[in-house]
Amino acid sequence: MNICLFLPNWLGDVVMATPAIRAIRHWAGPRARIVGVLRPNLAGVLDGTDWLDETWCYHPRGDDPRWKTPNLVRRLAAEKWDAAVLFPNSWRSALIAWLARIPVRIGYGRHHRGRFLTHALDWEYSREEGWKVPMVQYYLRLAETLGCPPESPRLELQTTPQGEILAARVWQDLGMPTDGRVVAMHVGSAGASVKVWPTEYFEELARLIVFRTDHSVVLLCGPSERKIVRGICRSVRDPRVVSLADQPLHISLLKSCIRRCGVCVSTDSGPRHVAAALGVPVITLLGPTPEELIANPFVRGMNLRVPLACAPCLRRTCRPGHHRCMRDMTPAWVLEQLAPFLVKEAAARAA
């Protein structure tokens, strides 16, 4: 079989799609050819797994002409496919699969794109009732429509030898503990400013962690967050608070660095899901995101939320304008919830 997977456009969504991708590989078998189409910046997310035979980069707004829509259509049309599974809900992805004449096209029939799909699934959501299924199950329904038997919702990622070598060098250069006494913190949240915890709160939490515990802090970041994490490190002025701002920002390195940490503190963002998939406990700072959206029985950690009548709203901006769902979540309270996990993980390592 030749199967084409149009993978999600965000890091966290790719991670939450791993059970479905794994299910498709198990169902299709080792002789099948499975090609993943995804954004160039996400090309290394699934490195280390054996689910994909090839990865094709695609970015309609990217600078490289090889990533543009016409080139992808031509490339797909030049080969014979048995099926395409569309994880993104975009109208464009359905049109591409249709133009490439892929005989079986499975996806959710949103944005009036059902006419381009052979199997258009219903979307079980309303803003009044909220999400009825977690994202991991949302993606698993696509695999089951293809014919896959039920699969565990366990998230899964693997590191690579190259990533481990780079992470070991970074750890040595930054003088980080190698026994897991490191808290990873991610300060950003791509795509929605309302998900972001105030920078001064991350700064205060980092200061509290190094002053009140025996753990160090490593600040994770993407290209747009380098300036922020550098500012946090300068403000805290403690050698135990470091960042990846001056390191090569590659997903292979990110995965291996997170794997070395004892706990991760993050908003609802990509690194949060990477930590969960690597088995690292995550303290998730939730504002507009419903817990049902990221629910998974295999994820270790805790979801923190301030009880408000307007939350969760699942919006990209705060309509009331107060942003209390994140601003009322104080660093001292977050440390109080985090501390038992630091003790528990330390005891597990000692055992």
Q: Where are the beta strands (DSSP E) in the chain?
A: 2-6, 33-38, 54-57, 83-86, 105-108, 119-121, 125-126, 130-131, 182-186, 216-220, 241-243, 263-267, 282-285, 301-304
Question: Are residues 256 and 222 in contact, defined by beta-carbon separation less than 8 angstroms?
Answer: no
DSSP secondary structure string, 153-171?
Answer: --------HHHHHHHHHHH
pLDDT at 128 over 80: no
328: Cα separation from own chain's centroid: 25
In a domain, 151, yes or no: no
Res. 191: pLDDT tops 80: no
Q: Using CA atoms, how far apart are residues 300 and 288, in angstroms rounded to an integer? A: 21
Q: Is pLDDT above 60 for 126?
A: no
Q: Does 15 share its domain with 40?
A: yes
Cβ-contact 227, 350 below 8 angstroms: no
* Residue 315: pLDDT over 90: no
Q: What is the pLDDT of residue 190?
A: 60
Same domain for 222 and 321?
yes
Q: Are 134 and 123 in contact (CB under 8 A)?
A: no
Three-state DSSP class for residue 56: strand
Q: Clarify whether residues 92 and 206 are in a common domain.
A: no
Q: State the average pLDDT for the chain.
A: 93
Does one domain contain both 186 and 66?
no
Q: Are residues 219 and 316 in the same domain?
A: yes
Asked which of 62-66, 249-253, 284-288 is least confident by mean pLDDT, the reply is 62-66
pLDDT category, 313, cuts 50, 70, 90?
confident
Res 19 pLDDT > 80:
yes
**Per residue in 166-184, pLDDT tens?**
999 999 999 999 999 999 9
For 211-237, what is each residue's pLDDT tens digit? 999 999 999 998 889 999 999 999 999
Domain that holds residue 201: 161-350
Query: Where residue 190 sits, what CATH number does that domain have?
Result: 3.40.50.2000
Q: What is the pLDDT of residues 140-160, one digit of tens each?
A: 999 999 999 999 999 999 999
124 pLDDT band, cuts 50/70/90, is low
pLDDT at residue 123, as a whole number: 76
d(Cα 295, Cα 111) in Å, to the nearest integer?
A: 25
Is the model more confident about 166 or about 110?
166
Q: Please check whether residue 332 lies inside any domain of the structure.
A: yes
Token pair listed for 131:
């999400």
The pLDDT value recorded for residue 130 is 52
Distances (CA, A) of 271 to 56, 130, 147, 189, 290: 23, 24, 31, 9, 18
User: 316: how many CB neighbours lie within 10 A of its CB?
Assistant: 11
For residue 129, is pLDDT > 60?
A: no
Please check whether residues 181 and 306 belong to one and the same domain.
yes
Last residue of a domain, one of 100, 117, 146: 146
- Give the three-state DSSP class for 315: coil
Q: Tell me: the pLDDT tens digits for 56-81?
A: 999 998 888 889 999 999 999 999 99
Do 86 and 182 share a domain, yes or no? no
Pairwise CA distance, residues 69 & 75, whole Å: 10
User: Is 80 exceeded by the pLDDT of residue 189?
Assistant: no
Number of domains forming the structure of the chain: 2
**Whether residues 23 and 110 fall in one domain:** yes
Q: What is the pLDDT of residue 350?
A: 74
How confident is the model at residue 110, as a pLDDT?
85
pLDDT band at 96; cut points 50, 70, 90: very high
C-alpha 248/C-alpha 308 separation (Å) is 40
Distance from C-alpha of 334 to C-alpha of 325, rounded to nearest angstrom: 13
In a domain, 153, yes or no: no
Per-residue pLDDT band at 321 (split at 50, 70, 90) = confident
Select from 93, 118, 146 the last residue of a domain: 146
CA distances from 123 to 91, 95, 130, 135, 288 (A): 14, 19, 12, 12, 20
Residues 129 and 170 in one domain: no
